[in-house]
């Protein structure tokens, strides 16, 4: 199999080299400046920089009698390109920068190889932008190579009058025969050996600007349409594209399924997932009048997102003393939270189902002045309809799992019409920012996680006092926001823990309280003494598992327990928010699956502010240690507080980014 792959790569690379030679033989070449090749020879050794996707004809600048190397990544497509470059007497340096990704792509070795080649009298050809994008954003790596080698960077572009391009992240362009071909070079960029971070960033931006300029000039010289070779993400950022066929089919399909909506809502109401008295809101009917003044619409999916936007809502209301805030969510638990905690001039409605007729009805009534979506709750019809009404759109605290990022990048035709319509995006981290920028969002800011700045869930002092009295002197492990499959692991760990802690009480707060009856039956079936809070207000002295199948009491239980396993992490869900536990003084444990809060958990685990467990045995050992070793638990809590202190600031950045959209509407 490996031999066949190598043979195919060699055949493909040599075929590509033959195509390049055919294009060269059949085409007319022009240069700017006219002596570009002479200048490149005089600048040798240098770094010849181009944009990814625009490099096919660069090898035609090779004068033939000097040594040239090229940096080529380690993957299938690059192997083919590398084989083609070998046909033009070019040495290969394997590896590429990783950008903000954690995966090692051989960047450090490639940097060393590049510097060694340049200092050994070989010029270097490389692309300035880094897969998988965003396209045409120069990386710092090429600047560092110039700094360490002392060799200048020469921005170069090639364009042909006849070409075809593909819908890849870089808009890969294939030059065609019988063309007029232009080569354009810019002035060399020198990077001093003592350049500091500020100068490196300044020169990186200059390279980016110069490469865009020579690329535009090359296409102008051959009379070709630059837009056809421009990455679709960049075009989308300038002019949002119309909805794709997939989005149109999605809208039409939901419209056709409207007769089934009552059946869906009936089923969800029986499951306790809908409020029957407020069904009309899910169909776009408002249950109250629109305020006469400024209306800011904030949409949050559920409880966690709602809790994170409450401080933002308060700050927005302070910004404009006459404004009102409409908060929409999709769950009954978040509606209950909103009823308890929304400030004056803020009110709640259920978000309409994403059916075009319902979203139109919702927007016709509320006519928001600013629409703010939270995290990853992307509803296509609602977003497109809001943008069509020229309402400014913001996506705040934006997050994506690694799987979601890969899926969105793969489905750019669907993602670009949506994300390009957001006027501003506040992303939790660099990876999310790069992905969303690659989907055409014109204004993306890395702001951090709003949940770090959110207040912890409230504590009912009377309830806490009663629980403390009922559990006096008992060691308590809280398992918060658990998902199916996790309770079995916790139950398996319990037998080992109980050997060291015979009075141990495990309190489980399931993510979905309606799981309480089934969960109680499952644990009782294992021979464990189990009670449900919805039926028994306080645990008995012999209770081993206490299931808190109620709403709005998580903060109280965090304040009660000295240690908490934050759920969604022992199974492949992605983890839940650990910050609430830390703010209430619980030492945090987590499973290995916590990518929904990757940056927070990375900081916590690295600092010793959280303990990661991967099995029932590890859970038993770690929880026992935290419950029996007061000094160890105190150290975990102190480290966690220190780590969170370094991660704050997202709220201030978010408010600052949103203010211009309010003032732009005449306030």
Dihedral of CA atoms 382, 384, 389, 390 in degrees, nearest 10, equals 120
Q: Are 481 and 568 within 8 A, CB to CB? A: yes
Q: Is 305 annotated as catalytic?
A: yes
Q: Which two tokens stand for residue 449?
A: 């996680």
Cα dist. 83→7, 54, 450, 493 in Å?
A: 11, 17, 48, 55
Distance CA 449, CA 444 (A): 14
Q: How many CB atoms lie within 10 A of CB 144?
A: 18
Distance CA 610, CA 594 (A): 12
Residues 6+ apart with CB under 8 A from 110: 71, 93, 94, 95, 96, 97
Q: Are 24 and 95 within 8 A, CB to CB? A: no
Question: What pairing do the DSSP bridges indicate for beta strands 153-160 and 180-185?
Answer: antiparallel
Residues 513-550 as b or e (16 or more Cβ within 10 Å = b): bebbeebbebbeeeebebbbbeeeeebeeebbbbbbbb
Cα dist. 611→219, 433, 601 in Å?
A: 56, 28, 10
Partners of 175 in beta bridges = 163
Question: What pairing do the DSSP bridges indicate for beta strands 530-532 and 370-374?
Answer: unpaired
Question: Among the options 305, 486, 531, 580, which is catalytic?
Answer: 305
What is residue 45's DSSP assignment? S
Q: Are 393 and 624 within 8 A, CB to CB? A: no
Q: How many CB atoms lie within 10 A of CB 642?
A: 14
Crossing angle between the packed helical segments 412-419 and 402-410, to the nearest 10 degrees: 100
Distance CA 86, CA 623 (A): 58
Residue 386: is it exposed, middle or buried by C-beta count within 10 angstroms (0-12/13-18/19+)?
buried
Q: How many CB atoms lie within 10 A of CB 26?
A: 13
Distance CA 515, CA 513 (A): 5
Catalytic residues: 305
């Amino acid at each position: 199999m490996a031999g066949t792959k190598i043979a195919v790569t060699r055949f493909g690379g040599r075929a590509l080299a033959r195509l390049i030679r055919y294009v060269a033989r059949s085409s007319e070449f022009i240069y700017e400046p006219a002596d570009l090749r002479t200048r490149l020879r005089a600048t040798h050794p240098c770094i010849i920089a181009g944009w990814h996707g625009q490099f096919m004809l660069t090898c035609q600048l090779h004068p033939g009698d000097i040594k040239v190397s090229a940096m080529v990544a380690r993957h299938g497509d690059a192997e083919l390109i590398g084989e083609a470059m070998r046909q033009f007497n070019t040495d290969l340096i394997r590896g590429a920068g990783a950008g903000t990704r954690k995966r090692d792509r051989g960047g450090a070795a490639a940097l060393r190889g590049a510097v060694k080649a340049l200092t050994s009298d070989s010029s270097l050809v490389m692309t300035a932008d880094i897969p998988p994008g965003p396209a045409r954003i120069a990386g710092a790596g090429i600047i560092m190579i110039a700094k360490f080698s002392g060799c200048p960077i020469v921005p170069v572009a090639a364009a042909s009058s006849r070409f075809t391009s593909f819908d890849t992240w870089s808009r890969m362009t294939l030059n065609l025969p019988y063309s007029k071909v232009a080569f354009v070079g810019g002035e060399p960029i020198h990077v001093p050996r003592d350049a500091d971070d500020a100068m490196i960033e300044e020169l990186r931006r200059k390279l980016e600007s110069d490469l865009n300029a020579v690329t535009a000039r090359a296409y102008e010289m051959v009379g070709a349409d630059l837009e056809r070779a421009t990455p679709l993400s960049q075009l989308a950022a300038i002019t949002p594209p119309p909805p794709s066929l997939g989005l149109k089919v999605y809208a039409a399909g939901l419209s056709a399924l409207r007769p089934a909506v009552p059946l869906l809502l009936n089923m969800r109401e029986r499951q306790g997932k809908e409020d029957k008295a407020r069904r009309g809101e899910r169909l776009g009917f408002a249950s109250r009048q629109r305020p006469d003044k400024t209306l800011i619409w904030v949409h949050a999916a559920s409880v966690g997102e709602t809790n994170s936007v409450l401080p933002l809502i308060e700050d927005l209301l302070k910004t404009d003393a006459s404004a009102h805030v409409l908060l929409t969510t999709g769950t009954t638990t978040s509606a209950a939270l909103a009823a308890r905690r929304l400030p004056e001039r803020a009110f709640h409605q259920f978000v309409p189902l994403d059916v075009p007729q319902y979203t139109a009805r919702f927007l016709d009534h509320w006519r928001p002045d600013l629409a703010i979506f939270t995290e990853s709750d992307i509803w296509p019809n609602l977003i497109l309809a809001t943008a069509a009404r020229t309402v400014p759109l913001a996506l705040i605290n934006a997050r994506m799992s690694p799987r979601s990022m890969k899926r969105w990048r793969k489905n750019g035709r669907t993602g670009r019409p949506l994300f390009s319509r957001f006027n501003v995006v506040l992303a939790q981290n660099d990876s999310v920012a790069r992905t969303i920028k690659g989907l055409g969002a014109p204004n993306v800011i890395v702001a951090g996680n709003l949940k770090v700045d959110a207040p912890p869930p409230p504590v009912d002092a009377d309830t806490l006092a009663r629980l403390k009295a009922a559990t006096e002197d008992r060691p308590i492990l809280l398992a918060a926001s658990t998902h199916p499959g996790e309770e079995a692991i916790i139950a398996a760990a319990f037998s080992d823990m109980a050997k060291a802690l015979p009075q141990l009480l495990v309190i489980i707060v399931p993510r979905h309280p309606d799981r309480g009856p089934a969960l109680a039956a499952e644990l009782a079936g294992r021979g464990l003494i189990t009670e449900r809070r919805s039926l028994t207000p306080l645990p008995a002295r012999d209770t081993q598992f206490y299931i808190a199948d109620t709403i709005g009491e998580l903060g109280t239980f965090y304040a009660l327990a000295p240690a908490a396993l934050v759920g969604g992490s022992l199974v492949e869900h992605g983890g839940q928010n650990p910050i609430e536990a830390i703010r209430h003084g619980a030492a945090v444990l987590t499973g290995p699956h916590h990518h929904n809060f990757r940056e927070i958990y990375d900081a916590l685990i690295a600092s010793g502010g959280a303990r990661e467990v991967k099995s029932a045995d590890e859970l038993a050992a770690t929880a026992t240690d935290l419950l029996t070793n007061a000094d160890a638990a105190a150290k975990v809590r102190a480290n966690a507080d220190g780590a969170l202190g370094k991660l704050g600031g997202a709220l201030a950045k978010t408010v600052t980014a949103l203010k211009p959209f309010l003032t732009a509407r005449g306030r």
